[in-house]
Amino acid sequence: MCLLAVSLGLSPAAVAAETPPIPARELVRQSVANELKASTDQKHYMFRSRKQNPAGSQTRILVQTRDAVAAMAVAFNDQPLSSEQRQAEEGRLQFFMSNPQELRRKQQKEKDDADRVNHIVRALPDAFLYDYDGSERGQPGIGKPGDQLLRLKFRPDPRYQPPSRVEQVLVGMQGVVLVDAEKRRIAKIDGKLFKDVSFGWGILGHLDKGGEYHVEQGDVGNDSFEITKMSLTFTGKLLLFKNIVINSNEAFSDFHGVPENLTFAQGVALLKQQAGGMSSTATQAQH
């Protein structure tokens, strides 16, 4: 801590003054409680996603509705969709609107994915040991700009016993977490696997040592936090036979609130309207 203070030009007393008067693990526990509470919040958004992987990039617009998330691709490799690609996107969305059973399956899958994430988040206070490691200020996309973010190093607690295969991945991970000191919200997690681990996300397999997970969360308005960036780099095996290679970076931006009772069909209409406006802008730029 003294070396950190010197490197930042701070006195050890100044650094100590920034440390909240609670144990690091309790700070994480309070923050996790707020994250789980926020996960039940009914605030819905329309937002943009740009996902990059070795094959290229895809830009989408997404709308959270009361039924499921409606999403439409608007660019591949940063180029607007062709008319054929646009028709294919609209056809995919029409399929869900015309098949209530498929829409319910989509809704259930999203719920299952959210439940698995919540299992991981809920386990964070118990799965790791934490130590304060200084602080920094929030910036766009990471916490709330200007807020104090407390940095904590984490490592597995050897006494932790994963209650299911979902949490098994945590026993091989270590890294750093940033917590908004005032709002008790998680602003960033950087984790790395220091050993091979098994996992269970509805399937069986293992992830190799060296895999990395990075997620950033920031204030998108009205003190509402949403994920703004996620990066995954993992290799492993599925069922001991099929190789797994995950290498993607996804950024989320342009969050705008939408009505909480928005139906899937209404969400699709918003997507088409937004995508149509983007197409007109792109056409005007070409002339």
Spell out the SS3 assignment of the chain: CHHHHHHHCCCHHHHHHHCCCCCHHHHHHHHHHHHHHHHCCCCEEEEEEEEEECCEEEEEEEEECCCCEEEEEEEECCEECCHHHHHHHHHHHHHHHHCHHHHHHHHHHHHHHHHHHHHHHHHHHHHEEEEEEEEEECECCEECCCCEEEEEEEEECCCCCCCCHHHHHHHHEEEEEEEECCCCEEEEEEEEECCCEEEECCCEEEECCCCEEEEEEEECCCCCEEEEEEEEEEEEEECCCEEEEEEEEEEEEEEEEECCCCCHHHHHHHHHHHHHHHHHHHHHHHC
Q: Tell me what pLDDT residue 282 has.
A: 45
Nearest CA-CA partner of 152 in 31, 35, 249: 31
Instruction: Please state, in angstroms and rounded to a whole number, the distance separating the CA atoms of residues 173 and 212.
Output: 9
Residue 175 is assigned to a structural domain of this protein? yes
Could you list the mean pLDDT of each consecutive 10-residue stretch along the chain, which spans 287 residues?
35 45 93 94 92 95 97 96 95 96 96 92 97 96 95 97 89 96 95 87 76 96 92 85 87 96 96 75 43
Q: Tell me what pLDDT residue 286 has.
A: 43
Residue 99 is assigned to a structural domain of this protein? no
Q: Looking at this protein, which amino acid is placed at residue 59?
A: T
Quote the number of domains for the chain. Answer: 1
Q: Tell me what pLDDT residue 16 has.
A: 42
Residue 208 is assigned to a structural domain of this protein? yes
Instruction: Please state, in angstroms and rounded to a whole number, the distance separating the CA atoms of residues 121 and 179.
Output: 14
Instruction: Please state, in angstroms and rounded to a whole number, the distance separating the CA atoms of residues 205 and 239.
Output: 5
Residue 26 is assigned to a structural domain of this protein? yes
Q: How many residues does the chain have?
A: 287
Residue 145 is assigned to a structural domain of this protein? yes
What does pTM read for this prediction? Answer: 0.85
Tell me the residue range of the domain where 212 lies. Answer: 2-62+75-80+127-261
Residue 45 is assigned to a structural domain of this protein? yes
Residue 10 is assigned to a structural domain of this protein? yes
Q: Tell me the two tokens of residue 39.
A: 């996960």
Residue 274 is assigned to a structural domain of this protein? no
